[in-house]
Structure formats: structure tokens, C-alpha cells
Amino acid sequence: MARAWQPDRVAAIGRARCSRPVIFAAGAVAVATVAVGVAVHAGGGALGTATPPFVAHWGPTAHPLAAVSVAAVAAGAWAVPRVVVLPRALFVLALFVLALGLGLSVNLARHGVHGWTAIFDTGPGGSFEAKNEYLPGLPELSYGVRFYLDRFAELVPGAPVNVAGHPPGPLLLVHGLGITTPAQLAALCIGTGALSAPLTYVLGTRLAGEAAGRRAGMLFAVCPLPLLFGVTSMDAVFMTLGTVAACLLVGPGARSRALGAAALAVAALFSWALLAVGAWAVVITARRAGVAAAVRLALGCAAAVAVLNGALAIAYGYDPVGTLRATEMVYRNSLASIRPYPFWVFGSPVAWAVTLGPPIAAALLTGLTRRQAPAQALALVVAVAAAGGFTKAETERIWLFLVPLACAAAAPAVPGQRLRWLVALLLAQTLAVELLFDTVW
């Protein structure tokens, strides 16, 4: 018997065929970029990282607790088809537990329990990067919050690198919570970062419906980037703040958008990069509701940022313009000065996309070929960031805040029946990278 005419199926096959050349072309660019990075580095060229375009250091090792990591990864792959069909409340809770459990388990593989806190530990056995993190910056608050905000622009040049590279929000949060030890700071990052899993579900649901939202949340929970670079990084906190703003900015009604603009203003006090979430939401709004609505949203976001910074300037003497200039000067005189733009304009997005996971990156490109607004908005943000040279290398960590947006944009292109296999591939990639490379964070 001849198969009945199925226009939806034919359209789906057509879209798949349309996306394949784009995926193959992107894969070729990625392979070429990695090959150039390896060749230049092997020849003694200075590209600014240990394994360009990636920031991780080659160094295979395994702690005895790596057996726990393997068991957790296997359990995670087994649990996905069971978790994804749970009632909504249980699903949200399970997402958080899954993201938290996988993150902790995977980060046992190299250094055991100490691996959870080493990045913030300036003592013997701690990370070489710890001196650049936030705890060494706490003495800058010795004279109180008012002095810190009033003199922040002047303090930037002498501050630890990560304090100098961001607005005053992160250190204010650490100080306000009374955090003084590596374990306390790690707990903040790990717990807050895991919240992005259920938030990604909310974001995916608002963008493409319940089924896509569930897939988005699951993709985030098993995505290599947050598992490898988010569990012990303050960027995990930035990611969650940015995802809250994104959920509100694309939510229904003027009230949600107004709250989103306020959340974006607060988030931008932690990382300048989070302003990109506002740009992402504006592009989606332009596609869905027209240019006029997008302009109103952009003006609302700009007003919220201006009001918050203005209020801090009046109340505490905070100088946001001077801070931005001081931060830019620190960045220009950092490792970025030896990272050549022609390589990193490709290297930055390639490193981010490969560590995001090829299955997620391929689904993103599929959404792009289908002209889906979330995928187009994310592609524009990534292109502008790469072309502008705002970040050259370390995008596995610095662009961590884009992961929930990527998972939400990729989810509609991920068939539900293939989710188990995608999860298995992503978790296998995560564990392999953790065992073979020192990802620093």
C-alpha cells in the first residue's frame, strides 16, 4: 500500500535537508579553527591559551572518586526519559536535583571533593587561578559599602582580575552574605547555578511551549558547559541572574517585561555581558511583535539600567562610566593583548559551541535555518560579541550565561524520541573532557 501524503512530514524532511549543509559548513569551520590553533601553538606561536581555541589544559588524570562520576553519568542518562514525563512540580524539582547532582559528581573526577572548592582556595593545594577570584578582593570592602562604591573605579586597577573585570555586584553579594571561605563561595556558585536548569525549562516553555520547555531544561542539566565551567565559577551566578531576566523579558504582559527590565539592570551590576540578554530579548520581540514593541522594550531596559546606576551614583557616589573605562583598560592590558583578533574572532564562538556540545550546536543551527526567533537572536548576539572582540578566549566560562538561551533555542529542533541518545552523548563528552583536561574552573 502506498504511504499516505503527509505534508507535515514532507516539510520536516525538507527542513532537515536544508539544515544539513549549514551544519556541515559550521563543522568544517570548527575543525579548521581547531587545526589552526593546534598547529600555531605547536609551532611556538602565542595565541594566549594552552590548547587554542580552548582554555583547558591537557592533563589526563583520575581521582578514585571518578567511579562516582561514571556511575552518576550512567544514572543521569538512564533517568532522563523518566524525569521528562513527571508532573510539572516534580519535574522542576527533579531538574534542579539532576543538575546539582551531575555537577557535583562530574567535578569529583579529577580532584575529588577538593575539586569543588579549589578554584577559590589560595592556600597550598589550591588553584593557581584563586588569586584572581573574589575572596582576595574582600579587603576592598574593609571601609564599608559606601567607600567601596564611591571609589570603585579607582580601585579597579589594583583589584584581583575577576573583581576588576566586572561591576561591583559580585563582591557586594559575597560581602553581604558574609562569605569568607572557599567552601562558602563554592556553595553559592554551585547552588545558584543549578537553579538555571528549572529556569531554562520556564524560558523554553515561554518561547516554544511545554514539550520544548521540558527538552530545554533537560538539555541544560546535561550540557557540558555548565557542568564543566559552571559548578565552580561565579559566572554560574551571572548565568542564573541573566536567565531570570530572560524569562521575564519574553514573558506575557507589560508587567513581566517591566520586571524583566529591572532584573536585567540588577544583573548588569554583576556582569556587563548580561546586557546582551536584553539585546537578545529585543530581537525576539521584534520578530514576534514588531519593531515598535521591540523599541519600547529596548527603551525600558535602558531606562532601568540608567535609573539603577543613577541611584547608586546619587546615594553612594558610584561612577559607572569611570568603572567601565577602568575595566576596559584592565582588559586591554591583560592576556587579551596577546590574543590575536583574526584567530579569536573564529576561536571564541568555536570553543563555546564545541563545549556546549555538538548535538546542541547542531540543533541551534537547525533552528537558525528554520528562521526561529530564539536561534536568530542568539546567533546575532554571538556574532556581535565575537566580531567586536569583547571577549577573546575563555568563552567557555565568560559566555556561560548564553547556555540557557542556547538550550531553549535548540529544544524545538530536538526530537523527543532522540533525547536519550543526545543526553548520553553530552554526558559522555562531559566526563571525557573532565578526565582528560584541566578546565581550571
Is residue 369 within 8 Å of 18, Cβ to Cβ? yes
- Please name which of 265, 92, 268 lies closest in space to residue 257, comparing C-alpha atoms: 265
* pLDDT score, position 329: 86
DSSP letter (8 states) at residue 111: T
Beta strands at 57-58 and 437-438: parallel, antiparallel or unpaired: antiparallel
pLDDT score for 14: 46
Q: Say what the pLDDT of residue 45 is.
A: 83
Closest CA to 394 of 129, 152, 193, 153: 129
Q: Are 319 and 409 in contact (CB under 8 A)?
A: no
Domain boundaries, the chain: 17-230+318-369+390-396+404-438
Hey, CA dihedral for 46, 386, 432, 400, is it positive or negative? positive
What residue ranges of the chain have pLDDT lower than 50? Answer: 1-14
pLDDT at 12: 45
Tell me what pLDDT residue 18 has. 65
Q: What's this model's pTM, rounded to 2 decimal places?
A: 0.94
CA distance 204 to 211: 9
**pLDDT confidence of residue 4:** 36
The cell numbers describing 32, all together, are 579548521
Q: What is the pLDDT of residues 372-428, one digit of tens each?
A: 999 999 999 999 999 998 889 999 999 999 999 999 999 999 988 888 899 999 999
d(CA 382, CA 388) in angstroms, rounded, equals 10
**CB 15, CB 367: distance < 8 Å:** no
Distance CA(435)–CA(232), nearest Å, equals 16
Q: 253-274, pLDDT tens digit by residue?
A: 999 999 999 999 999 999 999 9
